Chains A and B, each alone.
Chain A
C-alpha cells in the first residue's frame, strides 16, 4: 500500500525506471534524480501557499486494486455514443494497466495513432521522441519529475496533417482505490491544419472514509502544430477520498487555436495547473473552466497563458462555485514576453459562495514585458445576488429552483464549450451538488 512519506526517494532499482527503450530509461533516470534532489516546496513558495505539498508525497507505488463495476457502466454508456456516431473513439485506461482503444479503426485508416504510450514508444518512436518530456520535463517541479520517472502508462494521440476528426475522442481513466497511486500521462500531437476534440476524463479513486486516500499524479502534454485547431476538455471527477495533482502544458504554433476546458468536481484535494504557450504569431488560446466544491473539498488551481510570440491572443474565464466548507485558491498568470508585441490577453475569475463556511482566494497575475499589448483581468467574489433571487421568486419560482437557475446561468459560458453529450452529464454533476444548499 502507498502511504504518505515526505522523505520518499525513488530507489535506483524501481521497476518503472527499467521500462521502455534506452532513451526513455535515460529520461526516467534523469527525472528520478531530479525528484530525489529537489526538496519539498516550502509552504511560503508562490504556488504552494494554500496547499501542503506533503499531501502528494506518496511513499511508493502500490499494487493496484480497483472495483470495475462503475467503470464498466460508464464504458457501456459511452459505447452507445460510439455506436450512434457521437464519438469518434473511446480509449479506456483501467488503473494504468489496461489501455484499450475502442472504435478507432476508421481513424487508424486516416493515419491517426491512438495507443498506450508504452506501446507507442516502441512502435512510433519517430513520432513520440521529439515531443515526450518537451513541455513537462526536467525543467519543472518535484511532482512533475515524479510522474516523468514513474508514469506507469499513458495515452498517445497523433493526428496527421490535414486531418479533421469531427466527433470527440473520449479518454476515460479510472483510478484504483484506497492506498493506490497512479501516474497517468497523456501526449497529444495535432498535425498541421488538423482538427480534433479530446475529452480527458479522470475518475475512480477511493471513497472509503477514514482509510488511506488514493493518489493520482498526472501530466498532459499537447502540441498544436501550424494552423491546427484543438479542443481539450479535462474532467476531474474522482471519488471523495482521493488526492490528485495534474500538470498540463500545451504549445501552439503559428495560426493554431486551442480551447481548454478544465472542469473539476471530485476528490478531497485537487491541485491542477493548466498552461498554454502561444509560440507562433496568430495563435490563439481560450480557456473556459469551472469547479464546484462541496463538503470539505480543497481545490488549488493555476492557469498560465504565456505569450512567447507577438500577435497572439488569449482569453481565460474561470468560474468557481463553493458550498459547505469547500475551499478554492486560484492563481492565474498572464505572461507577455519582451519581444511578443501586439498581444491581447484577458482573464476573468468569478467566485460564487453559496454558504458561509467557504473560502475563496483569487490571485490573477500579470507579467507584461513590453508596451505594445492590451491586457486586462478581473476577479469577483460574492454570494448569489439577493436581488436576482427576489426577481425570480416574485415570478413564482421556488427558492431552490431559483438558486439552481442562477448557478447554472453562472457556469453556462463554460458549459457551452463542452461537447453536447458531455454537457448533460456536467449539468447533472452541478445539479446533484446543488441539493439542500
Chain B
C-alpha cells in the first residue's frame, strides 16, 4: 500500500510542473487568416465565404446571429462572471494554415510541436481509431485508420463533413440544438468552425475510440467548434475529446455545440476531459437524442477554465432508451465549475442515471445544476441521480441545484446528494494503519473519484489521476 503511495508521490515529483509550462505555452504564429475583433453580419459572411459553404448554411448563420444579438445573457448561474465577457473584444475566426494535412509530417512545425507536447501522435499510434486536431478555428490535422474507412465510417472535421456529406449534415444540423435554444448556442451556430463530424452506418461497431483534440493558442480567441455524431441503427461508437489553451492575462471564450443522435438500438459514448487554462470561459451546449432502445452515455470531466457552464443532456425519445451521465468537476483557485446534467424522458420504459462528483478546493466553487424531467407519456421510467461533493479548505464552496419535474405517476425517481469534507474517521483509520496523513488524504480523494476514472480509457485515467494529484499538492499536509 505504502509502495503505491510512494510511487504516486514519485510520479508527482517528476510531474512537478504546473499548467503554465505543460500546456500554458503559446506559439508566435503568422496566421493565414486572422479576422477582425468583434461580431457582425460581415464577419459571419466572411467566415461562410472563406469556407465556400452552401447558401443554406450561410442563411442559418445569419439568422442565428440575429438570435444571438436579441437574446439576453442568462440571468441565472454566475451572472457576475458572465458579465465580464466582452463580446466585442473577441476574434471570432482565425485560420492557422491554408489547407488541412493528412500526414503528420506536412503539418507546420509550430503546430506539430504543440500537439507533440500534448501527445497526440503517440496516442494515435498506440490506441485510437482516428484523430482530429483543431487549432483555433480550423482542424489542422486529420487521420483515420484505413479499416475504419472501409467499413463506411465517416470521421471528418465538420467543415469537410459539410462539403462531403451535405445531405446528412443538412438533415441533422441544428435538429437537436436549434440556434434559438440559448444565447451561446446561437453564437456558435453563427460563427461555428471546425469540430468533428461522425457518421457510423447501421450495425457497424467501431471497436476503437475516435478522438479529437482542441487547442486555443491566440489571446482573446473564441473557439466555436461544432460537433455532430450520428450512429445509425444498431451502430456503436466511442468518441473522446480533450482541450487545452495557453495562459494569457485576458480571457478567451470557448462555446461549442455538440449534437449526438443515436438511432434505434445504437450506442454512443462521448468522453470529454476539459482542461482549459484558467482564463477561458467554457460555455458549452451538449445534447443527445436517443431513440428506441438506444443508449447514450456522456462521460464529462471538468478540470480547467475560469467558468464552465455545461449540462450534457440526453433526450430519451424512444421506448427503452437509456441515458447515462457521469460528470466530475474539480474547482481550484478562482474557478467556478457550474456543471451538471439533464435527462428528458419522453417515451415509456426509459431509464437514466446521473452520477456527479465534485471537489472544491481553496476558494473554488463547484455547482451541480441538473434537470430530470419525466413527461406524462413516459410511464414505467426510472431516474436515479446521485451527487457527491468533497470540500477541501475553508473557503471552498459547493452548491447543488437539482430540479425534478415529474408529470407521470408510474415512474421511479430518486435523488441523493452528499456534501462533506474528508472524513476524520477515514483519515484516522488509514493513519492508524501507518499511512501519513498526506497519503491517507490522497487515497481517499482517489477513491472518491474512482467511479469516474474507471470509465475512462487507460491513458486518460492516468492523466486525470496525475492532474488531480497535481491539484491536490500543497493541500495535502
The answer to whether A380 touches B415 (Cβ under 8 A) is yes
**From residue 334 to 356 of chain A, which have CB atoms closer than 8 A to chain B?**
338, 341, 351, 353-356
From B392, B397, B410, give the contact of A356 (CB < 8 A). B410
Which residues does chain B contribute within 8 Å of A373, judged by CB atoms? 391, 419-421
From B402, B406, B414, B419, give the contact of A360 (CB < 8 A). B406
The answer to whether B417 touches A366 (Cβ under 8 A) is yes
Interface presence of A370 (CB below 8 A): yes
Interface presence of A375 (CB below 8 A): yes
Interface presence of B455 (CB below 8 A): no
Q: Given A351-B406, A381-B404, are A365 and B399 neighbors across the interface (CB < 8 Å)?
A: yes
Q: Given A362-B415, A364-B415, are A371 and B409 neighbors across the interface (CB < 8 Å)?
A: no
A303 to chain B, nearest CB (A): 15
Q: Given A368-B398, A376-B416, are A363 and B404 neighbors across the interface (CB < 8 Å)?
A: yes
**From residue 365 to 420 of chain A, which have CB atoms closer than 8 A to chain B?**
365-383
A380 to B409 CA separation, bound complex (whole angstroms): 12
Interface presence of B401 (CB below 8 A): yes
From A355, A361, A371, give the contact of B406 (CB < 8 A). A361
Interface presence of B393 (CB below 8 A): yes
Q: Given A363-B401, A363-B402, A365-B400, are A370 and B394 neighbors across the interface (CB < 8 Å)?
A: yes
Interface residues of A, dominant DSSP = strand
From B392, B417, B418, give the contact of A371 (CB < 8 A). B392
From B376, B396, B406, B418, give the contact of A370 (CB < 8 A). B396
Interface presence of B403 (CB below 8 A): yes
Interface presence of B473 (CB below 8 A): no
The answer to whether A378 touches B417 (Cβ under 8 A) is yes
The answer to whether A372 touches B404 (Cβ under 8 A) is no
Which residues does chain A contribute within 8 Å of B360, judged by CB atoms? 371
Interface presence of A209 (CB below 8 A): no
Interface presence of A15 (CB below 8 A): no
Number of chain A interface residues as a range: 35 or more
Interface presence of A100 (CB below 8 A): no
Q: Given A363-B403, A368-B389, A375-B420, are A383 and B415 neighbors across the interface (CB < 8 Å)?
A: no
A373 to B419 CA separation, bound complex (whole angstroms): 7
Interface presence of B164 (CB below 8 A): no
A298 to chain B, nearest CB (A): 14
Interface presence of A46 (CB below 8 A): yes
Which residues does chain A contribute within 8 Å of B421, judged by CB atoms? 371-373
Interface presence of A44 (CB below 8 A): yes
Q: Which residue of B lies closest to A353 (CB)?
A: B409
Which residues does chain A contribute within 8 Å of B404, judged by CB atoms? 360-363, 379, 381
A372 to B421 CA separation, bound complex (whole angstroms): 6
The answer to whether A44 touches B75 (Cβ under 8 A) is yes
Interface presence of B413 (CB below 8 A): yes
Which residues does chain B contribute within 8 Å of A46, judged by CB atoms? 76
A354 to B408 CA separation, bound complex (whole angstroms): 10
A44 to B394 CA separation, bound complex (whole angstroms): 33
From A356, A367, A374, A379, give the contact of B402 (CB < 8 A). A379
Which residues does chain A contribute within 8 Å of B18, judged by CB atoms? none
Interface presence of A359 (CB below 8 A): yes
Interface presence of A312 (CB below 8 A): no
**From residue 425 to 446 of chain B, which have CB atoms closer than 8 A to chain A?**
none
The answer to whether B399 touches A367 (Cβ under 8 A) is yes
Interface presence of B411 (CB below 8 A): yes
Interface presence of B86 (CB below 8 A): no
Which residues does chain B contribute within 8 Å of A354, judged by CB atoms? 409
Which residues does chain B contribute within 8 Å of A355, judged by CB atoms? 409
**From residue 335 to 372 of chain B, which have CB atoms closer than 8 A to chain A?**
360
A341 to B415 CA separation, bound complex (whole angstroms): 26
The answer to whether A379 touches B394 (Cβ under 8 A) is no
The answer to whether A381 touches B413 (Cβ under 8 A) is yes
Q: Which residue of B lies closest to A323 (CB)?
A: B409
Interface presence of B407 (CB below 8 A): yes
The answer to whether A370 touches B391 (Cβ under 8 A) is yes
Interface presence of A3 (CB below 8 A): no
Which residues does chain A contribute within 8 Å of B401, judged by CB atoms? 363, 365
From A45, A338, A356, A370, give the contact of B408 (CB < 8 A). A356
Number of chain B interface residues as a range: 35 or more
From B396, B405, B418, give the contact of A375 (CB < 8 A). B418
Q: Which residue of B lies closest to A380 (CB)?
A: B414
Interface presence of A358 (CB below 8 A): yes
Interface presence of B412 (CB below 8 A): yes
Which residues does chain A contribute within 8 Å of B406, judged by CB atoms? 351, 353, 359-362, 381
From A362, A363, A374, A381, give the contact of B420 (CB < 8 A). A374
Interface presence of B395 (CB below 8 A): yes
From A356, A359, A374, give the contact of B405 (CB < 8 A). A359
A32 to B394 CA separation, bound complex (whole angstroms): 41
Q: Given A356-B410, A377-B417, A383-B409, are A368 and B399 neighbors across the interface (CB < 8 Å)?
A: yes
A372 to B419 CA separation, bound complex (whole angstroms): 10
Residue-wise, chain A 218-229 has the 8 Å CB interface mask toward B (1 for contact) of 000000000000
From A369, A374, A377, A382, give the contact of B413 (CB < 8 A). A382
Which residues does chain A contribute within 8 Å of B76, judged by CB atoms? 46
Q: Given A378-B416, A382-B413, A383-B410, are A370 and B402 neighbors across the interface (CB < 8 Å)?
A: no
Which residues does chain B contribute within 8 Å of A361, judged by CB atoms? 403-406
Residue among A338, A354, A366, A369 with the highest chain B CB neighbour number at 10 A: A366
Q: Given A44-B75, A359-B406, are A377 and B392 neighbors across the interface (CB < 8 Å)?
A: no
B283 to chain A, nearest CB (A): 19
A200 to chain B, nearest CB (A): 30
A12 to B440 CA separation, bound complex (whole angstroms): 67
B359 to chain A, nearest CB (A): 11
The answer to whether B400 touches A366 (Cβ under 8 A) is yes
From B75, B392, B395, B409, give the contact of A358 (CB < 8 A). B409
A43 to chain B, nearest CB (A): 12
Which residues does chain A contribute within 8 Å of B394, judged by CB atoms? 338, 341, 370-372
Residue among A45, A351, A364 with the highest chain B CB neighbour number at 10 A: A364
Which residues does chain A contribute within 8 Å of B408, judged by CB atoms? 356
A349 to chain B, nearest CB (A): 9
Q: Which residue of B lies closest to A45 (CB)?
A: B75
A313 to chain B, nearest CB (A): 15
A338 to B395 CA separation, bound complex (whole angstroms): 7
The answer to whether B400 touches A382 (Cβ under 8 A) is no
Which residues does chain A contribute within 8 Å of B412, judged by CB atoms? 380-382
Which residues does chain B contribute within 8 Å of A380, judged by CB atoms? 412-415
From B391, B411, B419, give the contact of A376 (CB < 8 A). B419
Which residues does chain B contribute within 8 Å of A382, judged by CB atoms? 411-413
A189 to B25 CA separation, bound complex (whole angstroms): 63
Q: Which residue of B lies closest to A385 (CB)?
A: B412
Q: Which residue of A lies closest to B360 (CB)?
A: A371
The answer to whether A364 touches B396 (Cβ under 8 A) is no
A375 to B420 CA separation, bound complex (whole angstroms): 6
Q: Given A46-B76, A353-B409, are A364 and B395 neighbors across the interface (CB < 8 Å)?
A: no
Which residues does chain A contribute within 8 Å of B398, judged by CB atoms? 366, 368
A341 to B398 CA separation, bound complex (whole angstroms): 14
Q: Which residue of B lies closest to A344 (CB)?
A: B420
**From residue 38 to 94 of chain B, which have CB atoms closer than 8 A to chain A?**
75-76
Which residues does chain B contribute within 8 Å of A378, judged by CB atoms? 414-417
The answer to whether A368 touches B403 (Cβ under 8 A) is no
Residue-wise, chain A 36-59 has the 8 Å CB interface mask toward B (1 for contact) of 000000001110000000000000
Q: Which residue of B lies closest to A366 (CB)?
A: B400
A68 to B96 CA separation, bound complex (whole angstroms): 83
Q: List 24 A-B contacts (CB under 8 A).
A: A46-B76, A338-B394, A357-B409, A359-B405, A361-B406, A362-B406, A362-B415, A363-B403, A364-B402, A364-B415, A366-B389, A368-B391, A370-B391, A370-B394, A370-B397, A371-B396, A374-B419, A376-B418, A378-B415, A378-B416, A379-B415, A381-B404, A382-B412, A383-B411
Closest 7 CB pairs of A and B: A371-B391, A381-B413, A366-B400, A375-B419, A353-B409, A379-B415, A376-B418
Residues of B within 8 A of A (CB): 75-76, 360, 376, 389, 391-421
Known: A361-B405, A365-B399, A380-B412. 5 other contacts (CB 8 A): A358-B409, A363-B401, A371-B421, A373-B391, A379-B414
